[in-house]
Amino acid sequence: MARAAPEVQAIARILDRLGAETDALGAGLCADPGLAAAHMHALQAIDRIAQMQRSLAALLLADCHACALSAVGMAELQAELRAIHGEVTCETCT
């Protein structure tokens, strides 16, 4: 399968960088036990956002979207992407 277009690769790099920045933000906030205890749900949402950003980046860069979609670890995101993309299969990778 063809590599992603340079513009798509750039978007994926931005998403991946934002995921790393979001992770760092969450980690910084978790360093304060009182804040972490008081805002656990918000911190979990921050982690979820970072995971989604990184999953989307990986999907954009994947040689095989079927395999990348199957590798998305978040069931909710995977279902949403399958609703957009439809069921895809890979005869080469599976």
pLDDT digits (tens, 9 = 90+) for 37-50: 999 999 999 999 99
Q: How far apart are CA 74 and CA 13, in angstroms?
A: 20
Q: Residue 21's pLDDT is what?
A: 97
Instruction: Give the pLDDT score at 41.
Output: 97
CA distances from 79 to 2, 26, 55 (A): 25, 25, 13
**Rounded to two decimals, what is the model's pTM?**
0.82
In this structure, of 36-40, 53-57, 88-92, the range with the lowest mean pLDDT score is 88-92
C-alpha 55: how far from its chain's center? 2
> Pick the residue with more confidence: 31 or 65?
31
